[in-house]
Structure 1
């Protein structure tokens, strides 16, 4: 089942449903003292998308740590379509060792860049971000094994067996594949509430990363300066996967139309074999061939009385009704474009209407459905702008896909990680002249 959901407040993974769009109104701070200035870049290699990280407008980010060798952790967000991974690898002051690590990543065609961190005593470390297709989970397991990441968990969790390698994990796959990770890697997945992870990850990025949020209109990306003292409340729209929650957060709305709908229908209609292939196909399409526009009804004219231009969509796939054509008569590119427009419009409209219900002006969109895709962002932006009559804007997150994985990563409380994340915040505030 795929769906779109809105929640108010915090999260708890009570009922897990893959490929949802979650709408979440964030009212208070979750893990906001765990901050860092980071920036990610994207690539796609051999069916597995990887994210390398870079420091915004500077060299490597410095991280003060009293004990670098005891902060290596691995966390996973295992969704219905993708597995998102965050791991921290400790190192020494030797640059050659870091180079060897990069070479090893490239050899496996997984990761080429990471966040380099250094201490005043010369110790070094790196934070890595990767994602795999869930259908190819063996690639994820093989990567973990090749990098010996199964030892990067928490071996001191009082609630779990002390002789096990404990790894923080969230998402439905943390339950579904728990036995597989145990069998293949000897890992016990410590399941963390999915919705709380999304909130923690979003707050982390919005408070820690310069130029994290941006608007996108007519091909123009404009970064938005976040006022940390006036961040809450906001609506977080996580498009792609999610859960119901009833702990610190209240569900406010939902729809069955989401990222899974786009991928499922797209696969049936176009025969695309991957989500990214479908997105790429949509770039080349023209939805006007299939969609019925206002101008088609009004003889090429606007319906200005209610603010509809002639190019506004009156009915998605509407022309397929009146034309005596079969699916094969339409280009797959045009079908993909129309489908993407339909889903994105729906998400944008519902997001704004729920923001209106609760008097919210800030609407942040995340999740791997968006993937920085220009047409998707532009369509959502147009929908929010139209329904709000220009009073609200859609805000996108550069690191949208790793909210859950980052939130799970931040759940490590042992081996000094809490102190380190607190230092992230202190350094970020010092550089931004902000008060935590």
Structure 2
């Protein structure tokens, strides 16, 4: 049973029934709001199972309880936090907030509860109550990031990949040899988390130079109105116009004694010191490129140094700063490869920006909501032909675009 195709979440959710949508979860960050929710296609009973062939079992078991197969889609969407009213309107229009009332069997507004994480879950709690009549049940941000990453690495086929020199290669994750690893989440700022197991982690470092820095400085220097516009602009730029290279200092020569080529950046934005130019004399695309290179390289280097502290070989990078952007990933990978002398790898995640929202999503089961779908999410088995499990099917090229849904189903052995 291969569902296979990705559907765009650009229109309102199909009106099947209030039960069709469940478990909306939010990650409200300083720059972006991320949403994850599940919509059901069908749910089968024991009678249905008897009518199916033995190789299409429709129930999974845990202890003494059987759980029905549920087919549906995991939906992903994001909004700028500064445009939170657009997010509220989206939730209202698609009636996503009703899932919180429904699960409790009560439509009274004061009992509609939605899981949320991030600083905005505190900052905007009153706004969600006022506009939608829902209460945000707040989950710890670091807990959710780790839970979301662990879930993706265990449950999603072709989730992690390497990217260098324009080559993307998916990495098969051994569930029995996943830990420990370093999780680097690049949002407005950057958190670096050493993950030792399910619920076992420590935030070991971070930096305030992250996605918010790129967006903020980029807006001041280029007048771009949003992150994606700034990122798109960088495609057309040439950072060597602004960055001071080793060759600029050594007359076009390499500094071979310490392994630096003439094209290595000696100082980001360094040429602006000696150039007799004003800001308007520089092309916005060159500024954007240099800024992206500086921040990405810095994050890659700091990440490796923290991995080195704990002897970690694998570094997973997440967060919406990356956006699946080739130049960003390549810069991070080159930094990790250079400083580790090829000993460590930078790995990226297809669902990079939704770690916190996914962690909030799976936390429903942790807090005792008796729902078979979440139970199957949390207690899924490794995916293979002989085991049951939760399998997410994505697009053929492995890309996840903004505001998309991924069809999925649960198989029982």
Pairwise TM-score range, normalised by the shorter structure: 0.7 to 0.9
Which moves more between the two structures, 218-227 or 121-130?
A: 121-130
Partner of 2:31: 81
Can you give the 5+ residue segments of structure 2 that lack an aligned partner in the other structure?
A: 44-56, 60-67, 390-413
1:345–1:380: 8 Å Cα contact kept in structure 2?
Answer: yes
Partner of 1:97: none
Which SS does the other structure have where 1:309 is aligned? coil
Note the C-alpha offset of 1:256. Answer: 2.1
Which SS does the other structure have where 2:381 is aligned? helix
Cα distance in 1, alignment partners of residues 151 and 70 from structure 2: 24
Task: State the Cα deviation string for residues 112-145 of structure 1 (Å, max 9, x = none).
Answer: xxxxxx9689974322111111111111111111
1:385 aligned onto 2:337:
yes
Q: How many residues align?
A: 351
1:271 aligned onto 2:210:
no
Q: TM-score, normalised by structure 1?
A: 0.74
Note the C-alpha offset of 1:182. Answer: 0.4
Counting only pairs closer than 5 Å after superposition, residues 146-295 of structure 1 correspond to structure 2 as 146-153=93-100, 164-241=111-188, 249-295=201-247
Cα distance in 2, alignment partners of residues 69 and 125 from structure 1: 12
Match of 1:140 among 87, 96, 118: 87
Q: TM-score, normalised by structure 2?
A: 0.78
Cα distance in 2, alignment partners of residues 162 and 146 from structure 1: 17
Cα distance in 2, alignment partners of residues 192 and 122 from structure 1: 28
2:91–2:97: 8 Å Cα contact kept in structure 1?
Answer: yes
Match of 2:375 among 419, 422, 433: 419
Cα distance in 1, alignment partners of residues 250 and 173 from structure 2: 43
Note the C-alpha offset of 1:146. Answer: 1.2
Q: From the superposition, tell whether residues 213 and 237 of structure 1 become closer, same or farther in structure 2 (CA, over 3 Å).
A: same
Q: From the superposition, tell whether residues 168 and 90 of structure 1 become closer, same or farther in structure 2 (CA, over 3 Å).
A: same
Partner of 1:62: none
1:155–1:163: 8 Å Cα contact kept in structure 2?
Answer: no
Cα distance in 2, alignment partners of residues 281 and 312 from structure 1: 22
Note the C-alpha offset of 1:250. Answer: 3.0
Q: From the superposition, tell whether residues 326 and 241 of structure 1 become closer, same or farther in structure 2 (CA, over 3 Å).
A: closer
Cα distance in 2, alignment partners of residues 208 and 237 from structure 1: 20
Match of 2:254 among 266, 282, 302: 302
Q: CA RMSD for the aligned pairs? A: 3.2
Cα distance in 2, alignment partners of residues 406 and 395 from structure 1: 19
Can you give the 5+ residue segments of structure 1 that lack an aligned partner in the other structure?
A: 1-36, 53-67, 94-117
Cα distance in 1, alignment partners of residues 7 and 374 from structure 2: 28
